Amino acid sequence: MTTTDDRTGAAPEPTGPLSTIDYSERIPNNVNLNEDRRLQRALEGWQPKFLDWWRDLGPQLPTENVYLRTAIAVGRDGWAHFDHVPMEEYRWGIFLAEQDPDKTISFGKHKGEPVWQEVPGEHRADLMRLIVIQGDTEPASVEQQRVLGATAPSIYDMRNLFQVNVEEGRHLWAMVYLLHAYFGREGRQEAEQLLKRNSGDLDAPRILGAFNEETTDWLQFFMFTYFTDRDGKYQLGTLKESAFDPLGRTCEFMLKEEAHHMFVGTTGVQRTVERTAEVMKAKGGPARFEDGVIPLQVIQQYLNFQFSVSMDLFGSEQSTNAGNYYSSGLKGRWQETRRKDDHVLLDDTRTMRHVVDGQIVEKEVPMLSALNLDLRDEYVADCENGVRRWNQELEDAGLEERLVLPHEGFNRKVGTYAAHRISPDGRVLSEDEWAASVDEWLPSEESRRAVADLMVPEYEYGKFAAWIAPPKTGINDQPVEFDYVHLAEEGLA
């Protein structure tokens, strides 16, 4: 479906040839790695460290093999191959979207110039920094989700979890390739650090805050893939526009894989809501934990938490660095080429909300300083789509209740609202008012425990834990009861 609005033009027509990936190499790639022996050796030196990390901090449930998608090409069509694969033998590789020899920079002070195939010295530190932060998020979520297989509500969901995990691992490879190929010794050092920082580690945590929160249960996993991975989608969307072409092409292909992660989050929450709605309809009243499902209020609390944590990932509404990255061509806007403006933004302004004397009011700010907010607004609009989808389940069940996104200022630690207490419906509160109501808005430890208590594993093919509805269709047109995962004997114990 192609959509247009006043701000952006129509989606571009898909272009580009189909580039196959060389799987005969130790590291599958479509970057002719065998023509650069030095780089190849460096990456082959990093590979065993990655595999050690995967064994130590990757999925902990022992499996024989998993029905996984592997990229076999990077064009628009026919790039995905599905088969049962032992996870430790998954072919993590380096895949960049096809190069367009005529591509020019689409924004900033270098607009109209050819894109860069090498890193300009003046932008080296900033580009490396952006790649490191993106790279740091990829293994972080694998670490956060490493024990979830033990409580999977179905073999179908377990397979989806592992697909997300192996593709996050591949996205780490994508960033490590850029560090090794374009940033020399410093890049190799940063690649090592990507395996040394660990989610939740007190001394060396992952860089982004939300990637250090433990994923305690499957509802949180679904919320994470919906809200927090979606932040990743939008960050990748800005890096896809980068004047540094290898980064843009890398992110372009990562975005395709990222679609699966969005699918897992959207449909996971949807199926949870569907099951809760079934019970509410049958009871003619609220569903409770003792009904074997997750109460709608708790789903809303999880939504409130993950949305607000993910909003912080966009940084301050106004940022000098974000403007500098844009003007320099390092990081564009979401769907930059479809924006109907001059793509330089020196004279543009926009409004932003902030708190003055206990009231949320608007002020006009330079557009260049507010690019974090611009991206966040795009993200919020996208988040609304999922909530509408989830509410359709409630409506279909004939229920009046609805899920809602909280106000942008709710539970914020970063940005203009950080110094204020804002209710989910956007009221500025005193500390006392906040304290009196916060346990209605955010999940308590007890409700997290109650959700965790529902997380009993269901490993029989085609069966689903009682708190979640089955999907309508399976993966790659396989039946829902397909043997998506073969557990190792010790995994069944």
- Binding positions for another protein, 331-390, rule CB under 8 A: 335, 365, 369-370, 372, 386
**Which residue in 21, 475, 485, 487 binds another protein (CB under 8 A)?**
475
Question: How do strand 359-366 and strand 80-85 relate by DSSP bridges?
Answer: unpaired
From the CB of 26, what's the least distance to another protein, in Å? 26
Which of 331, 354, 330, 332 minimizes the C-alpha distance to 341?
Answer: 332
Q: Which is nearer to another protein, 67 or 92 (CB)?
A: 67
Lookup result for tokens 């290898």: 246
Q: Which is nearer to another protein, 35 or 432 (CB)?
A: 432
Phi and psi, residue 463, nearest 5°:
-105, 155
DSSP 242-284: -SBHHHHHHHHHHHHHHHHHHHHHHHHHHHHHHHHHHHHHHHT
Which span (8-16, 22-30, 45-53, 339-347) binds another protein, by CB under 8 A? 8-16
Which span (38-46, 111-119, 121-129, 339-347) binds another protein, by CB under 8 A? 121-129
Lookup result for tokens 């992110």: 251
Residue 470 and residue 192: Cα distance in Å, rounded?
Answer: 41
Which span (20-28, 90-98, 410-418, 485-493) binds another protein, by CB under 8 A? 410-418
Lookup result for tokens 């979890």: 161
Residue 393 found at the interface with another protein (CB under 8 A): yes
Can you say whether residue 358 is alpha, beta or left, with left for phi > 0 and alpha for psi between -120 and 50 degrees? left
Hey, CA dihedral for 343, 345, 350, 355, is it positive or negative? positive
**Which residue in 202, 400, 425, 431 binds another protein (CB under 8 A)?**
202
* Whether 268 contacts 221, CB under 8 Å: yes
* Structure token digits, residue 483: 């043997």
DSSP 163-227: HHHHHHHHHHHHHHHHHHHHSHHHHHHHHHHHHHS-TT-SSS--SSGGGGS---SHHHHHHIIII
Residue 194 found at the interface with another protein (CB under 8 A): no
User: Which residues 210-269 are close enough to bind another protein by CB under 8 A?
Assistant: 210-212, 233, 235, 237, 240, 255-257, 259-260, 262-263, 265-267
**Which residue in 58, 149, 246, 323 binds another protein (CB under 8 A)?**
323
Amino acid at 311: M
Looking at residue 339, what DSSP letter applies? B
Q: Which is nearer to another protein, 36 or 291 (CB)?
A: 291
From the CB of 55, what's the least distance to another protein, in Å? 25
Which of 435, 434, 404 minimizes the C-alpha distance to 422?
Answer: 434
Q: Which is nearer to another protein, 37 or 472 (CB)?
A: 472
From the CB of 34, what's the least distance to another protein, in Å? 27
Residue 322 found at the interface with another protein (CB under 8 A): yes
User: Which residues 260-279 are close enough to bind another protein by CB under 8 A?
Assistant: 260, 262-263, 265-267, 270-271, 274
Give the SS3 label for residue 328. helix
Residue 31 found at the interface with another protein (CB under 8 A): no
DSSP 132-160: HHHHHHHHHHHHHTTTGGGG-S-HHHHHH
- In the chain, the N- to C-terminal Cα span, in Å, equals 47
Q: Which is nearer to another protein, 108 or 470 (CB)?
A: 470
Residue 420 found at the interface with another protein (CB under 8 A): no
Which span (109-117, 142-150, 339-347, 412-420) binds another protein, by CB under 8 A? 412-420
**Which residue in 150, 418, 488, 492 binds another protein (CB under 8 A)?**
418
**Which residue in 102, 118, 431, 445 binds another protein (CB under 8 A)?**
445
Q: Which is nearer to another protein, 246 or 470 (CB)?
A: 470
Q: Which is nearer to another protein, 25 or 427 (CB)?
A: 427
**Which residue in 198, 411, 422, 424 binds another protein (CB under 8 A)?**
411
Q: Which is nearer to another protein, 32 or 444 (CB)?
A: 444
Give the SS3 label for residue 353. strand
Residue 433: partners with Cβ closer than 8 Å, 6 or more residues away = 421, 423
Residue 141 and residue 310: Cα distance in Å, rounded?
Answer: 13
Residue 209 and residue 199: Cα distance in Å, rounded?
Answer: 9
* Structure token digits, residue 37: 């022996």
Phi and psi, residue 69, nearest 5°:
-90, 130
Q: Which is nearer to another protein, 26 or 196 (CB)?
A: 196
Q: Which is nearer to another protein, 62 or 209 (CB)?
A: 209
**Which residue in 227, 314, 410, 417 binds another protein (CB under 8 A)?**
314
Q: Which is nearer to another protein, 25 or 188 (CB)?
A: 188
**Which residue in 447, 485, 487, 491 binds another protein (CB under 8 A)?**
447
Which span (28-36, 49-57, 77-85, 95-103) binds another protein, by CB under 8 A? 77-85
From the CB of 241, what's the least distance to another protein, in Å? 11
Q: How many residues bind another protein (CB under 8 A)?
A: 123
From the CB of 48, what's the least distance to another protein, in Å? 21
User: Which residues 145-174 are close enough to bind another protein by CB under 8 A?
Assistant: 160, 163
Q: Which is nearer to another protein, 34 or 72 (CB)?
A: 72
Rg (CA), the chain: 23
From the CB of 38, what's the least distance to another protein, in Å? 19
Which of 27, 76, 43 minimizes the C-alpha distance to 256?
Answer: 76
